[in-house]
Amino acid sequence: MAVALDMLKKHVYNLLIVQLLSEEYSTMSPGTLEAQGLINQAEYQKVAALTQSASPDAHKKIAGKLPSLAISV
């Protein structure tokens, strides 16, 4: 039981880190990210074009499902 709890804690911490980094990077423009050496502008534009959702509320739908996935893990 303790091992499962430790694994769950690590998973939650990892999710928190990803969330915090996502929020931080989302405030940066592609130009800023490139200046920091974090991305290549041309590659960023390719990925951005590929990851655009056809559904404007897809992010909300996915975010709504995440809590139930985290509990069932």
Q: Output 25 or 61, whichever has higher pLDDT.
A: 25
pLDDT at 34: 83
pLDDT at 68: 67
Q: Where are the domains of the chain?
A: 2-72
Q: Output 52 or 12, whichever has higher pLDDT.
A: 12
pLDDT at 64 over 50: yes
pLDDT at 71: 55
pLDDT tens digits, 12-51: 999 999 999 888 888 888 888 888 888 888 887 887 788 7
Q: 3-class SS at 36?
A: coil
pLDDT at 73: 45
- Nearest Cα residue to 67 out of 3, 19, 23, 22: 19
